[in-house]
Amino acid sequence: MTPAAAAIHTQNGLEEWPFPADSMADIEKHEPDGFYTVGRTFHYDKLFLLEAHFDRLEKSAALGGVAVRLDRNSLRQSMRTMIERANLENARFRITVPRQSPNEVNLFFEPLDIEGIAALQKGVTAASYVIERSNPLIKSNEWGLVRAEARKNLPREVYEVVICDESGKLLEGFSSNFFVVKEGKLQTAGAGVLQGLTRRVVLEVAPDILPLDLTPIDLSTSHEFEEVFITSGSRGLVPVTTFNGVPIGAGGPGAITQALHRAYKQWVEQHLEAI
């Protein structure tokens, strides 16, 4: 099985990716400056909210000064072709609109580490870091370079870094959205963060489990955190069991986090669509 599949979607069809493509990380080294979205597939050719991925790509590009109108039907066909070639039951994908050639969309697929994602459900370590993200609504390669440099200042065992602004408000992870269960509510910043698609689903299913509080989380209240988790397109919900070196709750995934995870998975299965 090919470790990763990469190609360039053009008006004339798929063209070969001209660099090594052994993994997504390897591909990112050669990717041009641009705007991207990341997600995963299910059951070979199914996923959820693909149109929302396309919407976010166009919006990111527009906010970054690049006007692009994706040919969504032909882009879907190219994605189907790549999935058939790679024959991946579960894949992580990345779609990138290059700044200098927005009509040549880069498509990348790699096997999704299902066992690794399952292992994350035991809980991960996160830490806050004071840094500014100039425009969180733009998902760009430039931000990837900034966060990679910032990570050099943090211990290697920190799985996710949570952006903290200068006023002490916790906003979002470097590659995720950030949630806290506190005082009987699910709290997450309602603005000033990337509008993640997994986040969107969590906000839809959460009111059946507990009330929402869409105000930024104050770092000074971290001793009150009952449960913490992050969300992302390829990983879903991931419990955070240690934050800034301090165990959260009993040190394991909380009951509410697990209930939200089950509700999220049920929502996804009910809304899967063929590419």
Q: How do beta strands 236-243 and 273-274 pair? A: unpaired
pLDDT of res. 3: 66
- Residue 3 contacts residue 108 (beta carbons within 8 Å): no
Q: Where do we find the tokens 């869409």?
A: 214
Q: What is the 3-class SS of the chain, one letter each residue?
A: CCCCEEEEEECCEEEECCCCCCCHHHHHHHCCCEEEEEEECECCCEECCHHHHHHHHHHHHHHCCCCCCCCHHHHHHHHHHHHHHHCCCCEEEEEEEECCCCCCEEEEEEECCHHHHHHHCCCEEEEEEECCCCCCCCCEHHHHHHHHHHHCCCCCCCCEEEEECCCCEEEEECCEEEEEEECCEEECCCCCCCCCHHHHHHHHHHHHCCCEECCCEEHHHHHHCCEEEEEECCCEEEEEEEECCEECCCCCCCHHHHHHHHHHHHHHHHHCEEC
- The rounded mean pLDDT for the chain is 94
- Residue 254 contacts residue 227 (beta carbons within 8 Å): yes
Distances from the Cα of 10 to the Cα of 76, 80, 95, 141, 236, angstroms: 12, 15, 13, 20, 31
The percent of residues in the chain predicted with pLDDT above 90, rounded, is 81
pLDDT digits (tens, 9 = 90+) for 122-163: 999 999 999 988 888 888 888 888 888 999 989 999 999 999
On the question of pLDDT at 25 being above 80, the answer is no
The percent of residues in the chain predicted with pLDDT above 70, rounded, is 99
pLDDT of res. 265: 97
pLDDT of res. 2: 54
Q: What is the mean pLDDT of residues 74-87?
A: 92
Angle at 262 (CA atoms; ends 257, 264), nearest 5 degrees:
90
pLDDT of res. 105: 97
Domains of the chain: 5-112 (3.30.470.10), 117-270 (3.20.10.10)
On the question of pLDDT at 56 being above 70, the answer is yes
Distances from the Cα of 130 to the Cα of 133, 165, 174, 214, angstroms: 10, 6, 11, 21
pLDDT digits (tens, 9 = 90+) for 105-121: 999 999 999 999 999 99
In this prediction the pTM is 0.94
Residue 26 tokens, joined: 């390897």
Sorting pLDDT into bands at 50, 70 and 90, what band is 1? very low
On the question of pLDDT at 275 being above 60, the answer is yes
